[in-house]
Amino acid sequence: MSAMPQEKRDAPVTPGQPDMWVLVLFEAFTFSAYFVVYMIWRARNPAAYLQAQTHLRPEFGLINTLVLLASSWSIAICVTKARAGQYAAALRYVFLTLLLGAIFLVSKLYEWSFEMHQGMYFGTNDFFMFYYFLTGIHLLHMLMGFVVLGVVIYQLWSPQRRSQEIVETGATYWHMIDFLWVIIFALLYVMR
């Protein structure tokens, strides 16, 4: 067996499967289009958007952002532990990621019920149309993320199935969910 040239061994490797990176790029472009449409509509009537924004509770958005950032940290630690062959620790961190995702989900559903209790529905005004659309489509991606985390757990659970590539692919998807939320948080809760 011939030795691999030094430059090949030192070449950086993109984590996960290339197909996931294609999906991440596709989702980034899709969400970018949503964000641009939101900004265009907002620019047409900024005062109405600012007024509607006052009905949001920024602490919900901030807590959800911190929860998802913590979940990004935990899935990154999961990947690191799996690379080191510490599969029991990797499993603990992916379960922590799953728990943090569930906390986000419950918090978001509670926030929606709070908004609806105030009479703020999808059709109330343009701001809430975008609010429910953007947070809803993000939540749908998060539900798919739970399936992805399930696949990561399945991979880590048994020595016969362990695939670092699948673990990193799952982490890539989860990081995408977190990244998209940070932008949504900035657009809906922070931007004035």
Q: Residues 48-94: pLDDT tens digits?
A: 999 999 999 999 999 999 999 999 999 999 999 999 999 999 999 99
pLDDT at 10: 56
Q: Which long-range contacts (CB under 8 A, 24 or more apart) does 17-24 make?
A: 17/165, 17/166, 17/169, 20/169, 20/172, 20/173, 21/172, 23/173, 24/172, 24/173, 24/176
Q: From 177, 176, 153, select the one nearest 163 (Cα to Cα).
A: 153
- Say which range, 57-61, 73-77, 143-147, 160-164, has the weakest mean pLDDT: 160-164
The answer to whether the CB of 188 falls within 8 A of the CB of 61 is: yes
What stretches of the chain show up as alpha helix (H) in DSSP? 6-9, 18-44, 46-53, 58-83, 87-117, 126-157, 164-185
Question: 2 pLDDT exceeds 50?
Answer: no
Question: 122 pLDDT exceeds 60?
Answer: yes
Question: 106 pLDDT exceeds 60?
Answer: yes
Tokens of 18: 């290339």
CA 2/CA 19 separation, integer angstroms: 30
Tokens of 26: 């596709």
Q: What pTM was estimated for this model as a whole?
A: 0.88
Q: For residue 56, give the DSSP letter.
A: S
Task: Report all structural domains of the chain as residue ranges with CATH numbers, in order of start.
Answer: 58-190 (1.20.120.80)
Question: 191 pLDDT exceeds 50?
Answer: yes
CA 95/CA 101 separation, integer angstroms: 10
Question: 150 pLDDT exceeds 90?
Answer: yes
pLDDT at 163: 87
pLDDT at 52: 95
Question: 157 pLDDT exceeds 90?
Answer: yes
Contacts of 115 (CB under 8 A, 6+ apart): 55, 56, 128, 131
